[in-house]
Chain A
Amino acid sequence: MTIMQIIFLITASVTLFAALMVVSTRKMMHAAMWLILVLFGVTITFALLETRFFAIVQLVIYIGAIAILIIFAVMLTRRSMNADVPQVNRNWWLVMVSSLALFVGLVTVMSVWEGFFVTARTAPPGGENLVQLGTALVDPNGFVLPFEVASLVLLAAMVGAIYVAAERKEK
């Protein structure tokens, strides 16, 4: 077992444990903190796969922006900050059994696929070729249409968020 494998095993188990804590802890704030640990674990996994770009994106966007945003949202809504309500309802065991069954089923199905056992490919020497990624996003022969549509989706979501959240002057 190489050092890399040991690091991977430790990262993976910490990530999985933290993910479990995100959904099982009672305090929203704690869940947000555990979420940061999960995202950090994913960052390390990306780094182990030698994909620098994705590791940095994961770090900057997910931890730097999204997780912090979640923490702000929790802090600004006082009731959810102190909420200590039960995490599960009566049907929790039913859900657990069915999600476990789903998991086992998916793994069984996927294991018949030869791609399931291929060892992870590392990035080619010289990095992930960011220039290609960048031009593909604005190239008509690449992904310019999905890219523009995605920005339109974000615009609509932004207008909606402002509409829903903004204070109304009248009344």
Chain B
Amino acid sequence: MNLSDYYAITPLVFLVCWAIFLLLVDLWIPAGRKGITALLSAAGLLIALVLVLRSGEQVLTAFEGSVVVDGFSVFLSVLFLVSALAGIALAHDYLQRLGLERGEYYPLLLISTSGMMLMTYAYDLIEVFLALELLSIPLYILAGFSRLNLESEEASLKYFLLGAFSSGFVLYGVGLVFAATGYTDFPGIAKAAQNGSLNPTLFLIGAGLVLTGFGFKSALVPFHMWSPDVYQGAPSPVTAFMSVGAKAAGFAALLRVFVVVFPGMSVNLTPLLWALAALTMFVGNIVALVQSNIKRLLAYSSIAHSGYLLMAFVPYGNASVRSDAIAGMLFYLAAYCLTTFGAWAVVIALEKAEGKGLELEDYAGLGHRYPFLAATMTIFLLSFTGVPLTLGFWGKFYLFSTAVEGGFWQLALIGLLTSLISAYYYLRVVVIMYMRPGTPQVQRNFWPLLTSGVGALAVVILGIAPGVLLNLAVSALLKGL
């Protein structure tokens, strides 16, 4: 029994206990007053946020080295907790409006968040797999939260089946890596890889299977098939949370596992990652061109952003670029988180029951009727495109420069070209909002408006002074680098 083990993971333990506590408390909260549950869960997330920040930059190892708390995990944990807060802010009014107000939403969201946090702590393949399940299973349910809506049910089932399938890939990969090296903990595997005391073929296949599984989670092409349908069918706040949280967790696992465990495999894996990144950028952006539904458009745009993120990851085997790549990816994830939640807040303000109010045409006239919403949406779309002076520009700038530094200028070129393509469909929304006449109907609720306002402010301020965020991302070091 060692208390320091539990001390290292206090935020996680607290969040889990709070979620279980909420499950019980929710029984006594009458239907129609679930705002109390929402407030309680937000309070829990804030306390967890304080607990995470308290541990600061020290590196802690716990549970026989199977859990590591370092700058990297603190940075991402903060990101996940903020995402969960935004997920709650967006959800409450929305659920009430669509007649879905149920208390289970909040504990499930907290459990999923704790899974994401565990993913960033995990230093053992067993923990990685369990964290993957812990974050995914609540998301399967949340995707189908709108129970009587067929689209939502379809989304849930599709996500569940493909998610279970991809978990199978990860598990098989973990099994093969264990068979090849005899270890599941990262230092053990890394040591076996250095000594050469392993079976290289099994090891490579294992790494490939793990990559495939994480590729599903982060919606990389060609493992992206589920994401447009799921993003469209799931309730919008869930989609927003999923598109930030699950993606960031997938990339966190990818970074941690591949940088620590498979650095020597980069020779074999780099061409594969190269192709995946290029394909993801192309397919995501080109298919997004023909979408007329805003949720599907954002889904394909989110696929495209996975491609940009993966691009910086391609030269991970190159030790001199590695820390830049990680910092660039963390910066981009933070920028993506702020922009995505802001954009979804606007989508939620316009969405009506039965999937109405989601076509691009429904945004016509927004610029004249609701200048605040239209202005924030414009800022988010510009940031997604990567127009200078927005946060998205700096995010792309750091990713592209890492790719060039690593010697992959062709990839950076593809990134630039596809960003140009993406400008068409992002700016089309802006054009519709300002140039077309129309009478959009907006639900004015405080929390979504606040989310989009805060998001827009952060995107602009951090876009003018990106150094603050960049410093945080640079100092968020992985243990063992």
Q: Which residues of A contact B (CB under 8 A)?
A: 109-110, 112-113, 115, 140-146, 149-150, 152-153, 155-157, 159-160, 163-164, 168, 170-171
A115-B179, A141-B64, A145-B66 in contact; A150/B130 too (CB < 8 A)?
yes
- What residues of A have a CB within 8 angstroms of the CB of B114 in the complex? 152
A164 touches B127 (CB 8 A): no
Note all chain A residues with C-beta closer than 8 A to B20.
Answer: 155
A156 adjacent to B137 (CB under 8 Å): yes
- Are A156 and B108 in contact (CB-based, < 8 A)? yes
Taking the closest CB of chain B, its distance from the CB of A167, in whole angstroms, is: 11
- B: residues with CB less than 8 A from A are 1-2, 5, 16, 20, 23, 31, 63-64, 66-67, 99, 102, 104, 107-108, 111-112, 114, 118, 126-127, 130-131, 133-134, 137-138, 140-141, 144-145, 147-148, 156, 179-180, 199, 201-202, 205
B188 to chain A, nearest CB (A): 15
Could you tell me if B63 and A140 are in contact, using CB atoms closer than 8 angstroms?
Answer: yes
Min CB distance B116 to A, Å, is: 13
Bound state CA distance, A164 and B114, in angstroms?
A: 22
Question: For the complex, would chain B's binding face be called helix, strand, loop or mixed by DSSP majority?
Answer: helix
Among A141, A149, A152, contact of B127 (Cβ-Cβ < 8 Å)? A149
Chain A residue contacts of B23, Cβ below 8 A? 159
Look across to chain B and name the residue whose beta carbon is closest to the beta carbon of A147: B130
With A140-B5, A145-B63 as contacts: A156 and B127 at CB distance below 8 Å: no
Known: A109-B205, A115-B179. A149 touches B131 (CB 8 A): yes
Nearest CB to that of A143 among chain B residues? B126
Whether A156 touches B134, Cβ cut-off 8 Å, given contacts A113-B179, A115-B179, is yes
B69, chain A: closest CB distance, angstroms: 13
Q: Which residues of chain B have C-beta atoms less than 8 A from A156's C-beta?
A: 108, 111-112, 134, 137-138, 141
The interface residues of chain A, by DSSP majority, are classed as: helix
Other CB < 8 Å A-B pairs besides A113-B180, A140-B63, A159-B107, 7 of them? A110-B202, A113-B199, A140-B1, A149-B118, A156-B134, A157-B137, A163-B147
Residues of B within 8 A of A142 (CB): 64
Picked from B108, B131, B148, B201, the residue with its CB within 8 Å of the CB of A159 is: B108
